Amino acid sequence: MKLTIIGTGYVGLVTGACFAEMGTHVICVDVDEQKIEGLKRGVMPIYEPGLEPIVERNYKEGRLVFTSSLEDAVRETSIYFIAVGTPPGEDGSADLSHVLAVARGLGALIDRYSVIVDKSTVPVGTAEKVRDTVAEELKKRNVSVEFDVVSNPEFLKEGAAVEDFMRPDRIIIGTESERARKTMHDLYAPFTRSHERMLYMPVRAAEMTKYAANAMLATKISFINEIATLCDRMGVDVESVRVGIGSDSRIGYSFIYPGSGYGGSCFPKDVRALIKMAGDAGVKPKLLNAVQERNEDQKHILPQKIIRHFAQGLKGLTFALWGLSFKPGTDDMREAPSKVLLRALIEDGAKVRAFDPVAMETAKRELPAEWFDSGALELCEHQYDALDGADALVLVTEWKSFRFPEFERIKGLLKSPVIFDGRNQYDPATLKALGFTYFGIGRGQ
Ligand SMILES: NC(=O)c1ccc[n+]([C@@H]2O[C@H](COP(=O)([O-])OP(=O)(O)OC[C@H]3O[C@@H](n4cnc5c(N)ncnc54)[C@H](O)[C@@H]3O)[C@@H](O)[C@H]2O)c1
């Protein structure tokens, strides 16, 4: 089989590479010519564990092709995955301009039965919009070409994207067309060898499933963060509570880790978009609003703890920051809690020496140039370099290399032995015994 992926970002590149790995011929299209040229030279545009060798191997073997010409791709394939970005618009709704631009492009080019797959996260009703847009373009050309639009939302996690794609919990296919269903079934067959993972449903249900899944996960995080805030006020360690409730199989342990709030390119924008969708449908989304509000507040909790501890003000102080990416395993800093923390510290006059195992290049691109120019922010080559002469260590992303650090070394490098742990990685009693002043999230302080 042959297919085209349009949009070669986190989702598009992983999808393309994984299909190619299973033997499918894949053409990856992107409007970003620099990205395409880089990929042809073997330069990965993103960090994703395990992805590079798959891309390299399949590119070399000719199963994975990169181009910026949709026209070239349409000549060779009749299955199109739309995997372009759907960033939040001004009013919180998902911006569909890239998706619809692709639909127009396809409508202007296709000349045989085609299956167009919405892989991007898109609001309920988007498949109909894509269908109408393609139909309009065909009408302009005065041609009649059959096509189906399918919703196939993606559930991969950055940091484990290849594994998630190769062994998905489920593959959601939203379509009312038997012909498109058969195409999707055949395409995904190599991923469902051990047991059936395909779930077929109406297209609008598939679109809603993606938002409902992300909103549920975001709700779990905001729930435990709210409990953590209560715990802080009431002298309770939330970590005991977390284990206490997680052991209930109806609740489970996943996604109830208290921390500095959720970030990334999905949860914040998808919760916002679902709120907008609810409003448009005449529903007041009370729970979703609360989930979002709690998360915004959560990102400020760690800086507030720091400001409270250094009551004389942050001017003249230096902080070592461990972690920049929104979560471990990725270089993605979209809506990362580290950004809120950095802004709070720097605007209060502090300097920050930061380290992240993979997100340093992203930080150089995405953080304000004046922070670097003024010396307010310095990126350090090694996690221990960041500590040199700092007044405290602040951990905001729970990379594995931060989990069991050399505490004596940390103590020796810091000016004062203070740790602000935004992900509850450390045990307060152990750190106290080692002579640290320790602040976590919801540890009853
Ligand atoms: N990142 C994730 O973890 C994740 C997981 C599941 C779903 N999603 C969803 O998948 C979609 C893509 O997300 P992403 O993180 O991969 O985005 P991304 O920003 O990393 O990549 C999008 C790519 O699309 C390209 N593009 C934009 N317009 C184009 C056009 N007209 N033609 C061709 N290429 C075009 C961009 O240049 C970019 O390379 C979003 O809707 C997102 O919500 C993302």
- pLDDT tens figures, 189-206: 999 988 889 999 999 999
Instruction: Quote the ligand 1 centre to 30 CA distance (angstroms).
Output: 10
Determine which residue's CA is closest to atom 33 belonging to ligand 1: 30
From 44, 47, 156, 265, the mutation candidate for ligand 1 (largest count of ligand atoms within 8 A of CB) is 265
Looking from the CA of residue 32, the nearest atom of ligand 1 is 37
What is residue 190's three-state secondary structure?
Answer: helix
pLDDT tens column, 383-422: 999 999 999 999 999 999 999 999 999 999 999 999 999 9
Residues in a beta bridge with 115: 79, 148
What ranges make up the beta strands (E) of 313-373?
Answer: 318-322, 351-355
Share of the chain above pLDDT 70, in %: 100
**DSSP classification of residue 94:** B
From 30, 93, 126, the mutation candidate for ligand 1 (largest count of ligand atoms within 8 A of CB) is 30
Closest CA to 294 of 246, 212, 229: 229
311 CB neighbour count, 10 Å cutoff = 6
Instruction: Quote the ligand 1 centre to 98 CA distance (angstroms).
Output: 9
For 439, how many CA atoms within 13 A lie in the half-sphere containing its CB? 22
Determine which residue's CA is closest to atom 21 belonging to ligand 1: 9
With tokens 């310095």, the residue in question is 378
From 28, 84, 100, 162, the mutation candidate for ligand 1 (largest count of ligand atoms within 8 A of CB) is 84
Residues in a beta bridge with 114: 147
> What would the DSSP string read from start to end of 212-270?
HHHHHHHHHHHHHHHHHHHHHHHT--HHHHHHHHHTSTTT-STT----S---SSSHHHH
What ranges make up the beta strands (E) of 135-214?
Answer: 147-151, 171-174, 198-201
Contacts of 288 (CB under 8 A, 6+ apart): 215, 219, 271, 274, 275, 278
Q: Torsion angle, CA of 91/92/97/102, rounded to 10 degrees?
A: -160
Contacts of 384 (CB under 8 A, 6+ apart): 406, 409, 410, 413
Task: Give 445's pLDDT tier (boundaries 50, 70, 90).
Answer: confident
pTM of the model: 0.96
Structure tokens at 312: 């004389």
Task: Give 219's pLDDT tier (boundaries 50, 70, 90).
Answer: very high
With a Cβ cut-off of 6 Å, ligand 1 is lined by: 6-12, 29-32, 35, 83-86, 98, 101-102, 120-121, 154, 156, 158, 265-266
Closest CA to 64 of 114, 12, 116: 12
Give CA–CA dist 330/156, Å, rounded. 13
Given 18, 231, 266, 380, which residue is catalytic?
266
Give CA–CA dist 71/25, Å, rounded. 17
Give CA–CA dist 179/402, Å, rounded. 50
Determine which residue's CA is closest to atom 18 belonging to ligand 1: 9
Told to judge if 18 belongs to the known catalytic residues of this protein, a careful annotator would answer no
* Residue 303, pLDDT score: 97
Instruction: Quote the ligand 1 centre to 99 CA distance (angstroms).
Output: 10
**DSSP classification of residue 391:** S
Closest CA to 108 of 143, 67, 151: 143
pLDDT tens column, 14-66: 999 999 999 999 999 999 999 999 999 999 999 999 999 999 999 999 999 99
**DSSP classification of residue 403:** T
User: What's the mean pLDDT in 118-130?
Assistant: 98
Instruction: Quote the ligand 1 centre to 92 CA distance (angstroms).
Output: 17
Does 373 have pLDDT greater than 90?
yes
**Dihedral sign, Cα of residue 229, residue 235, residue 240, residue 245:** negative
Residues in a beta bridge with 147: 114
* Residue 7, pLDDT score: 98
With tokens 């395909």, the residue in question is 198
Task: Give 382's pLDDT tier (boundaries 50, 70, 90).
Answer: very high
**Dihedral sign, Cα of residue 43, residue 49, residue 51, residue 57:** positive
* Residue 378, pLDDT score: 98
What is residue 31's three-state secondary structure?
Answer: coil
From 4, 5, 6, 10, the mutation candidate for ligand 1 (largest count of ligand atoms within 8 A of CB) is 10
Q: How far is CA 84 from CA 63, 80, 98, 376, 382, in A?
A: 21, 12, 6, 35, 35
For 445, how many CA atoms within 13 A lie in the half-sphere containing its CB? 19
Determine which residue's CA is closest to atom 44 belonging to ligand 1: 11
* Residue 195, pLDDT score: 87
* Percent of the chain that is helix, strand, coil (3-state, to 5): 45, 15, 40
Structure tokens at 77: 């394939």
pLDDT tens column, 256-309: 999 999 999 999 999 999 999 999 999 999 999 999 999 999 999 999 999 999
Instruction: Quote the ligand 1 centre to 431 CA distance (angstroms).
Output: 42
350, amino acid identity:
A
User: What's the mean pLDDT in 152-161?
Assistant: 96
Instruction: Quote the ligand 1 centre to 47 CA distance (angstroms).
Output: 15
Give CA–CA dist 11/9, Å, rounded. 6
Does 352 have pLDDT greater than 90?
yes
Instruction: Quote the ligand 1 centre to 437 CA distance (angstroms).
Output: 43
Q: How far apart are the first and last CA of the chain?
A: 59
User: What's the mean pLDDT in 137-152?
Assistant: 98
Closest CA to 98 of 74, 79, 78, 126: 126
**DSSP classification of residue 197:** -
